[in-house]
Amino acid sequence: MLIKPLTTGLMLLLASVISWSTTASQNDASRSTELNLLVYNTHGLPAIFAADEPVKRFPQIGKLTEGYDLSLLQEDFAHHDLLLQHLKNPTAAARGSDALVPECWLCSGSGLTLVSNLQTPAWQIRTTFEPFKQCSGWLNRLNDCFAQKGFQLIIMEHTSGHRIYIVNTHLDAGRSEPDREARASQLEQIALILEAEATNEAILFAGDLNLDWDTQADNQLLKNFVGRLNLVAAQKGGDVSNGWATLDYIYYRSGEKTSLTLIGSGEDIAFTNESKPLSDHPALFARFGIQQGTSR
């Protein structure tokens, strides 16, 4: 790999419960475990809108997820089946969707996908999805309401007692005040769920937040949110030489029973083809050590 230095009772009814196991040996509970995480907006719009040959890109993206224990993907809209064909284990992928919301033939889903390559039966994963209550823009402001945006809440539990709550999300886009108000509402919704369900628990929070680090109002929203939940930055944005705004983030915190220690983070530049990025966002990664106890 090339590298640059829930919920409520209703939500549980909506849950898709996924457990992955293999024949690999179980880790000793007293020893540190590592988690290698990818966070990536795949730019998976229909080809006519994406205009960057997603049919060629998505097979490569699928193969590259093999280098990670967990991959948190955003904008996996129109080419999900193609992605599945090139995953190491297609059954170990979960999309964020709400089965109780009628499908809109003009709309897309959440675009959120979890891919797991965990190689030990000691870990079990449960994933739920909750749609956001507020969006901004149907025929304006980047048309976010045509996507059922929301967040995946992923709970990883180890037989030793380790538990990690992971949020994969893609917030409202756009730079107008209504867009920012929608993002504020979406962050509030996530915070309330985590405060209710993950008190004193270890948390990983990541995705395309559409909060521009260099825009004061967005930056303040982000700082208020991470301060409220005592989250620490693991990685923000990618290589500045790409000229992209900093919109993608990975945050974390330890819990009473589970300690997360950041080992390394950055941008994985393997997500390129002929020196061109496979998306219009950086492929962020973070490696964590997982132990008993509390650490920052």
Query: pLDDT tens-digit profile of 218-241?
Result: 999 999 999 999 999 999 999 877
CB contact at 8 A, 94 and 112 = no
| Mean pLDDT along residues 41-47 | 92
Residue 26 falls within a domain, yes or no?
A: no
Q: What's the CA gap between 63 and 130, in Å, rounded?
A: 28
DSSP letter string over 242-282? G-----EEEEEE--SSEEEEEEEEEEBTTSEETTEESSSS-
- pLDDT above 70 for 143: no
CB contact at 8 A, 110 and 186 = no
| Mean pLDDT along residues 191-215 | 98
- pLDDT above 90 for 2: no
User: Where is average pLDDT lowest: 19-28, 41-50, 210-219?
Assistant: 19-28
pLDDT of residue 106: 56
Residue 232 falls within a domain, yes or no?
A: yes
Query: What 3-state DSSP class applies to 151?
Result: strand
CATH number at residue 15: 3.60.10.10
CB contact at 8 A, 77 and 45 = yes
Q: What is the residue whose two structure tokens read 């939940």?
A: 229
Sheet order of strands, 284-292 included: 93-95, 113-116, 70-74, 33-41, 284-292, 258-267
The per-residue pLDDT for range 68-115, each reduced to its tens digit, is: 999 999 999 999 999 999 999 999 999 998 666 655 555 668 999 999
Residue 29 falls within a domain, yes or no?
A: no
Residue 272 falls within a domain, yes or no?
A: yes
Predicted structure pTM score:
0.88
pLDDT of residue 251: 99
Query: What 3-state DSSP class applies to 283?
Result: coil
Residue 27 falls within a domain, yes or no?
A: no
Instruction: Dig out the tokens for 91 from the structure.
Output: 């059954």
In the predicted model, what is the mean pLDDT of the chain?
A: 86
Amino acid identity of residue 100, one-letter, is L
Q: What's the CA gap between 253 and 139, in Å, rounded?
A: 38
- pLDDT above 90 for 57: yes
Paired with 37 in beta bridges are: 70, 286
Paired with 246 in beta bridges are: none
The per-residue pLDDT for range 244-261, each reduced to its tens digit, is: 899 999 999 999 999 999
Residues of the domain holding 173: 9-21+34-292
How many domains does the chain contain in total? 1
Q: Which helix (H) or strand (E) holds 65?
A: none
**Judging by beta carbons within 10 Å of its beta carbon (0-12, 13-18, 19+), is residue 96 exposed, middle or buried?**
buried
- Residues 6+ positions from 91 with CB-CB distance below 8 Å: none
Amino acid identity of residue 12, one-letter, is L
Q: What is the residue whose two structure tokens read 């979960």?
A: 94
